[in-house]
Amino acid sequence: MARVLPLPRHTLSLVVENRPGVLARVSSTLARRGFNIHSLAVGPTIDPGLSRITVVVESEKVEQVKKQLHKLINVVKIFELEPSKAVERETMLIRISAMGTSRTEAIEVANIFKANVVDVGFNTLTFEVTGKPAKLNDLIELLRPFGVVELVKSGRIAIGRAAKSKPSRMRAVG
Amino acid sequence: MEASRKPPTMTKITGAQSIISSLEHEGVDLIFGIPGGAILPAYDPLYFSPIRHVMARHEQGAGHMAAGYAWATGRVGVCMATSGPGATNLVTPLADALMDSVPMVAITGQVPTHAVGNDAFQEAYTIGITMPATKHNYFVTDPDDIPTVVHQAFHLASSGRPGPVLIDLPKDVLNQETEWRPPEDLDLPGYKPTMDGHPRRVKEAIEMLARSERPVLYVGGGIIKAEASEALTRFAEMANIPVVTTLMGRGAISDDHPLCLGMPGMHGNYTAITSMQKCDVLLAVGVRFDDRVTGDPQHFAVDAKVIHADIDPAEIGKVRQPDIPIVADARRVLNQFVKAWGDRPALANQEWIDTLRGWQDEYPLFYDQQPDGPIKPQFIIEELARLTGGDAILVAGVGQHQMWASQFWKFDQPRRWINSGGLGTMGFAVPAAIGAKAGMPDELVYAVDGDGCFQMTFQELIVASAYKIPVKVVVFNNDAHGMVKQWQKLFYGSRLSSSLLNSEVVDYVKLAEGMGCIGLRAEAPEEVEPTLEKSLSIDDRPVVVEMVVDREEMVFPMVPAGGSNDQVILGPDSGD
- DSSP class per residue in chain A: -PPPPPPPEEEEEEEEE--TTHHHHHHHHHHHTTPEEEEEEEEE-SSTTEEEEEEEEE-S-HHHHHHHHHTSTTEEEEEEE-GGGEEEEEEEEEEEE--THHHHHHHHHHHHTTPEEEEE-SSEEEEEEEE-HHHHHHHHHHHGGG-EEEEEE---EEEEPPPSS--SS-----
* A45 CB within 8 Å of a chain B CB: no
B483 assigned to active site: yes
Which whole-number Å values give the CA distances from B210 to B40, B242, B355, B557, in the listed order? 61, 14, 19, 32
Dihedral of the alpha carbons of B568, B304, B200, A78, in degrees to the nearest 10: 70
3-state DSSP assignment of residue B105: strand
Contact B314 A70 (CB under 8 A): yes
Three-state SS for B387?
helix
Give the closest residue to B247 by CA, choosing from B70, B454, B99. Answer: B99
Closest residue by Cα to residue B311 from B103, B133, B101: B101
Is the pLDDT confidence value at A169 over 80? no
Task: Measure Cα distances from A45 to A10, A24, A52, B238 in Å.
Answer: 21, 18, 6, 53
Beta strands in B372-462 (DSSP E): 393-396, 417-418, 445-450
Q: Cα separation of A161 and B200, whole Å?
A: 31
Neighboring chain B residues of A21 at a CB cutoff of 8 Å = 127, 131, 139
Which chain B residues in 339-398 lie under 8 Å from chain A, judged by CB atoms? none
d(CA B275, CA B290): 17
At A116-157, the pLDDT tens digits run 999 999 999 999 999 999 999 999 999 999 999 999 999 999
Strand partners, B448: B396, B474
In angstroms, what CA-CA distances link B576 with A110, B447, B489, B552, B567?
A: 70, 35, 14, 19, 10
Q: Which of A16, A63, A76 sits opposite B317 (nearest CB)?
A: A63
Q: Which of A7, A28, A38 is closest to A71 using CA atoms? A: A28
> Distance between CA A136 and CA A89 in Å, rounded?
9
Give yes or no for A17 touching B (CB within 8 A).
yes
Say yes or no: A73 contacts chain B, CB-CB below 8 A: yes
CA–CA separation, B146 vs B417, rounded Å? 35
H-only helix segments in B26-176: 40-46, 59-73, 85-89, 91-99, 126-130, 146-158, 171-175
Q: How far is CA B235 from the centre of its chain?
A: 25
- The whole-angstrom separation of Cα B461 and Cα B56 is 9
**Residue of B131, B190, B314 lying closest to A76 (CB–CB):** B190
Residue of A nearest to B131 (CA): A25
How do residues B280-331 score in pLDDT, each as one tens digit?
A: 999 999 999 999 999 999 999 999 999 999 999 999 999 999 999 999 999 9
* B203 in active site: no
Catalytic residue among B135, B171, B376, B472: B171
B76: left (phi over 0), alpha (psi -120 to 50) or beta: beta
- Active-site residue, B171 included: yes
Chain length of chain B: 576
Which residues from chain B sit within 8 angstroms of residue A53, using beta carbons? none
Interhelix angle A133-143/A101-112, nearest 10 degrees: 160
C-alpha B461, offset from chain centre: 20
Asked if B314 lies within 8 A of A25 by C-beta distance, the reply is no
Q: Note if B59 is an active site residue.
A: yes
pTM of this structure: 0.95
Within a 10 A sphere around the Cβ of B117, how many other Cβ atoms? Answer: 10
Q: What is the CA radius of gyration of chain A?
A: 19
* Strand-strand pairing, B281-285 and B215-219: parallel
Peptide bond into B345 cis (omega under 30): no
B428 carries an active-site annotation: no
How many CB pairs (< 8 A) connect A and B? 42
Q: Tell me whether A24 touches chain B (CB under 8 Å).
A: yes
Q: Which of B131, B158, B316 to mutate to test the interface with A (most CBs of A within 10 A)?
A: B131
Gap from B127 CA to chain A (nearest CA, Å): 9
Burial of B491 (0-12, 13-18, 19+ CB in 10 A): exposed
CB contact, 8 Å: A19 with chain B? no
- Report, in angstroms and rounded to the nearest whole number, the Rg of chain B calculated over CA atoms: 25
Sign of the dihedral defined by the CA atoms of residues B104, B110, B114, B116, in that order? negative
**CA B455 to chain CA centroid, nearest Å:** 20
Q: Is residue B576 classed as helix, strand or coil in its secondary structure? A: coil
- Whole-angstrom Cα distance, residue B435 to residue B468? 12
What gap in Å lies between CA B191 and CA B501, rounded to an integer?
A: 47
Contact state of B131 with A70 under an 8 Å Cβ cutoff: no
Instruction: Say whether B317 and A71 touch across the interface (CB within 8 A).
Output: no
Distances (CA, A) of B285 to B70, B164, B205, B223, B257: 21, 22, 12, 7, 18
For residues B85 and B67, what is the distance between their CA atoms, to the nearest angstrom? Answer: 20
DSSP letters along B457-507, please? Answer: HGGGHHHHHHTT---EEEEEE-SB-HHHHHHHHHHSTT--TT-B--GGG--
CA dist B541 and B311 (Å) reads: 41
Nearest to A143 by CA among A101, A108, A100: A108
For chain A, say whether B8 makes contact (Cβ under 8 Å).
no
Per-residue confidence in pLDDT tens, chain B, 576 aa: 445 565 555 689 999 999 999 999 999 999 999 999 999 999 999 999 999 999 999 999 999 999 999 999 999 999 999 999 999 999 999 999 999 999 999 999 999 999 999 999 999 999 999 999 999 999 999 999 999 999 999 999 999 999 999 999 999 999 999 998 889 888 999 999 999 999 999 999 999 999 999 999 999 999 999 999 999 999 999 999 999 999 999 999 999 999 999 999 999 999 999 999 999 999 999 999 999 999 999 999 999 999 999 999 999 999 999 999 999 999 999 999 999 999 999 999 999 999 999 999 999 999 999 999 999 999 999 999 999 999 999 999 999 999 999 999 999 999 999 999 999 999 999 999 999 999 999 999 999 999 999 999 999 999 999 999 999 999 999 999 999 999 999 999 999 999 999 999 999 999 999 999 999 999 999 999 999 999 999 999 999 999 999 999 999 999 999 999 999 999 987 644
* Phi-psi group of B27: left, alpha or beta (phi > 0 → left; psi -120 to 50 → alpha; rest → beta): left
Say yes or no: A33 contacts chain B, CB-CB below 8 A.
no
